[in-house]
Structure 1
Amino acid sequence: MNPWFETVAEAQRRAKKRLPKSVYGALIAGSERGQTIEDNQLAFTELGFAPHVAGPIGTRDQSTTVLGQQLSMPVMISPTGVQAVHPDGEVAVARAAAARGIAMGLSSFASKPIEEVIAANPATFFQMYWCGSKDEILQRMDRAKTAGAVGLILTLDWSFSHGRDWGSPVIPEKLDLRTMLKFAPQTLARPRWLATYAKAGHIPDLTAPNMALGDGPAPGFFGAYGEWMGTPPPDWADVQWICEQWGGPVMLKGVIRVDDALRAVDAGVAAISVSNHGGNNLDGTPAAIRALPAVADAVGSQIEVVLDGGIRRGSDVVKAVALGARAVMIGRGYLWGLAANGQAGVENVLDILRGGIDSALLGLRKTSVAELDRGDLVVPAGFERALGVPAAPVRAVAAPTSA
């Protein structure tokens, strides 16, 4: 089989064919019915283009910046936890992102240490949850700062829903002999995936090294997950505290409402990601692309706005930028590429997106992503979801004067 693929859908097909059922199930999972994960993708199909037939057709510039980092195209790697789809995990993704000139987002729950990932891609943002005590949060921030992270991504768009109508993926807490025997039928049915780990000389790593404190051992993924679940959610004062303690650019990931976006500005964040955690948060939340225009209108002149959720094509990236996003973050797409062909597979996915962006710019007769605006799109009536828009202040009415 030719290792190269031409669409993200083909990367997904190959990932499904290569990965054990439980591992693949974790990649496609969404909460409850899956209404939000479905809408994340379908919403893009409701948006059309309004192309020109003549105009500039020279070199098209896809470059932009996010939080001071130069990107060769308006795409970033969204942080995702424990990338056990390939032995090289987050390091392979970071190398691919560096090779294609984009920034990396590294999860707190990643399987590779932040130091190794930043060595592979210096343009790495460290993602954190509000997890543990403030002292523990500070220790993790200090480690990220010492390692050279260029910014912080504070993820708040994740609830505790475990129910999925089609069945939650079965993920073991640790890979001991008993667990390996239990999952043997799945893994033996995917000999190429098993051979990749055999060649690497180790089994999938289900620890979270970036959650370790001091010289202590790295907790298991579910141990770290349990600590996060047991930590009371933050308030806006806590968000401000994070920004003050970090002392550099902070992106707040998970904003879907205008009022939250305004509060984020007040709290001191430098960017927000309009996101519903890829459909793994509260099911029934609208697609991120539907909420983007209202949020971008409200705060886009004050802070940077990016979007994640449902990106499968370069044309999706163009639609998001035209509606007010500076860039997008991708998750499942690069994981499918990683599963299909390691670092080269991730580069393949990024090249597909770049080609799609270029084709859309050509059709729209734009020479730069900076020229995109809503006039380039066909936006159907009722498409947008303006959530949490503050009521207009009541204007004082002058009392009538007597004749």
Structure 2
Amino acid sequence: MANQWFETVAEAQRRAKRRLPKSVYGALIAGSERGWTVEDNTRAYAELGFAPHVAGLQGERDLSTTVMGQPLSMPVMISPTGVQAVHPDGEVAVARAAAARGITMGLSSFASKSVEEVAAASPQTFFQMYWVGSREVLVQRMERARAAGAVGLIMTLDWSFSNGRDWGSPAIPEKVNLKAALQFGPEVALRPQWLYTWLKTGAIPDLTTPNLAPAGGGPAPTFFGAYGEWMGTPLPTWEDVAWLREQWGGPFMLKGVMRVDDAHRAVDAGVTAISVSNHGGNNLDGTPAPIRALPAIAKAVGHEVEVVTDGGIRRGSDVVKALALGAKAAMIGRAYLWGLAANGQAGVENVLDILRSGIDSAVLGLGHRDVKDLRPEDVVVPANWPRVLGTPDQEHVV
């Protein structure tokens, strides 16, 4: 197993690229339209620096924190991502890795594994929902997650505009059938290790979404079928957000907030936490990196709700930069998917260990004993680097 270990998230990405069929890898790295946003997600972190100390450093450091009532061994959370067919174990492997490393698991409603399977693998599962279907259907889906043991709800409302990429959207079949086998056979044949991983389980990649199956029975929709229903559902209002939060009645995160005025409205709706996020670069292209918008949002509402962020996290030092600028934790997406593709559950654990080591090193260099002591003065922020989107709205009461 030693030869499967990797030392950086970048190496996990390289191995994922070598292992996965071209279309599958393309789906992992893609962003909407030109890709300005997905590029800025990583570039924004690279533009930030640190102000380290050289003496009086702390020999022991506490990396733990708490988000939405759940203790975290480090300020990292698994962000929900759709159908994880990069590995046969998919979201269950990710959940087991999260549990092994003491962090929360975010499960997408578009996942390839059921909430029952995932919650059984991780007692700290947050179930993520989109505004898909009627209110009755939404409540049924939410209650199913509660019954399965989900301890929190994540509502993702930033729209995905990923269907118009300048470099072409990756070809992904509606179903894995004979037609798909003939179409994708040549590129799969070039990745025999990936194919063997699936064949030895007796399964083939499943593109259905079991968490969106009808409550009364019947087949679960395919990913694209669910996506079509999402696009066809009337768009939610702030009143809808408050209603769903009330129906859940427990820890509730609103994901996709990028504007200060939206952050205030989220507070009015009664959310527990907000995630400053641009859907990993898959929403409206030209949206700045979340880390650029984080300081203004954290300053505006961080004393009222918990603020986390995601997008562009590739190393532990990125997490530390986010915490210094106001986040309680950072959510990761592509990073753990590359680990999953490279080496299953062990690959995800590998990624989490890399992030933990990087967080610890940065906290050490900055002279802190506790991640909760990180402050803006620990980070070197260039002029004109932050972005303030939206302005406080005094009439934002729901």
Match of 1:274 in 2: 276
Match of 2:123 in 1: 122
Match of 1:398 in 2: none
C-alpha distance in 1, partners of 2:81/2:243?
24
Match of 2:24 in 1: 23
Residue 207 of structure 2 aligns with an amino acid whose one-letter code is L
Residue 122 of structure 1 aligns with an amino acid whose one-letter code is P
Residue 219 of structure 2 aligns with an amino acid whose one-letter code is P
Residue 185 of structure 1 aligns with an amino acid whose one-letter code is P
Match of 1:142 in 2: 143
Match of 1:288 in 2: 290
TM-score (structure 2 length as normaliser): 0.97
Q: In the TM superposition, what is the alpha-carbon distance from 1:161 to its structure 2 partner?
A: 4.1
Residue 364 of structure 1 aligns with an amino acid whose one-letter code is L
C-alpha distance in 1, partners of 2:172/2:393?
45
Q: What's the C-alpha RMSD, in Å, of the aligned pairs? A: 1.1
Structure 2 SS opposite 1:200: coil
- 1:248-285 CA-partner distances (Å, limit 9, x unpaired): 11100000000000000000111000000000000000
Give runs of ≥4 in structure 1 deviating > 4 Å: none
Residue 40 of structure 2 aligns with an amino acid whose one-letter code is D
Q: Any conservation in 2 of the 1:139–1:213 contact (CA below 8 Å)?
A: no
Q: Any conservation in 2 of the 1:126–1:149 contact (CA below 8 Å)?
A: yes
Match of 2:74 in 1: 73
Question: In the superposition, relative to structure 1, how do residues 389 and 48 fare at CA in structure 2: closer, same or farther (>3 Å)?
Answer: same
Structure 1 SS opposite 2:4: coil
- Gaps (5+ residues) in structure 2? none
C-alpha distance in 2, partners of 1:333/1:46?
20
- 1:131-155 CA-partner distances (Å, limit 9, x unpaired): 0111110110010011110000000
Match of 1:104 in 2: 105
- 1:113-138 CA-partner distances (Å, limit 9, x unpaired): 00000010010000000001111101
Structure 1 SS opposite 2:66: strand
Residue 192 of structure 1 aligns with an amino acid whose one-letter code is Q
Does 1:312 pair with 2:319?
Answer: no
Does 1:86 pair with 2:113?
Answer: no
Q: Any conservation in 2 of the 1:315–1:360 contact (CA below 8 Å)?
A: yes
C-alpha distance in 1, partners of 2:265/2:110?
27
Question: In the superposition, relative to structure 1, how do residues 10 and 26 fare at CA in structure 2: closer, same or farther (>3 Å)?
Answer: same
Q: In the TM superposition, what is the alpha-carbon distance from 1:159 to its structure 2 partner?
A: 3.2
Structure 2 SS opposite 1:233: coil
Structure 1 SS opposite 2:3: coil
- 1:370-401 CA-partner distances (Å, limit 9, x unpaired): 110001111111111011123799xxxxxxxx
Match of 2:304 in 1: 302
Residue 230 of structure 1 aligns with an amino acid whose one-letter code is G
Match of 1:399 in 2: none
Q: Any conservation in 2 of the 1:11–1:336 contact (CA below 8 Å)?
A: yes
Q: In the TM superposition, what is the alpha-carbon distance from 1:335 to its structure 2 partner?
A: 0.2
Q: Any conservation in 2 of the 1:73–1:354 contact (CA below 8 Å)?
A: yes
Farther-moved stretch of structure 1 (56-65 vs 32-41): 56-65
Structure 1 SS opposite 2:196: helix
- Gaps (5+ residues) in structure 1? 394-403
C-alpha distance in 2, partners of 1:119/1:94?
9
C-alpha distance in 1, partners of 2:394/2:222?
49
Aligned counterpart in structure 2 of residue 265 of structure 1, from 264, 267, 270: 267
Farther-moved stretch of structure 1 (222-231 vs 83-92): 222-231
Q: Any conservation in 2 of the 1:3–1:341 contact (CA below 8 Å)?
A: yes
C-alpha distance in 2, partners of 1:391/1:333?
36
TM-score (structure 1 length as normaliser): 0.96
Q: In the TM superposition, what is the alpha-carbon distance from 1:217 to its structure 2 partner?
A: 1.7
C-alpha distance in 2, partners of 1:59/1:196?
41
Match of 2:53 in 1: 52
Residue 311 of structure 1 aligns with an amino acid whose one-letter code is I
Q: In the TM superposition, what is the alpha-carbon distance from 1:245 to its structure 2 partner?
A: 0.5
Does 1:188 pair with 2:189?
Answer: yes
The residue correspondences of 1:22-41 to structure 2 (distance < 5 A) are 22-41=23-42
C-alpha distance in 2, partners of 1:378/1:224?
43
Structure 2 SS opposite 1:2: helix
Q: In the TM superposition, what is the alpha-carbon distance from 1:213 to its structure 2 partner?
A: 1.7
Residue 51 of structure 1 aligns with an amino acid whose one-letter code is P
Residue 221 of structure 1 aligns with an amino acid whose one-letter code is F
Residue 181 of structure 1 aligns with an amino acid whose one-letter code is L
Higher CA-based Rg: 1
The residue correspondences of 1:219-230 to structure 2 (distance < 5 A) are 219-230=221-232
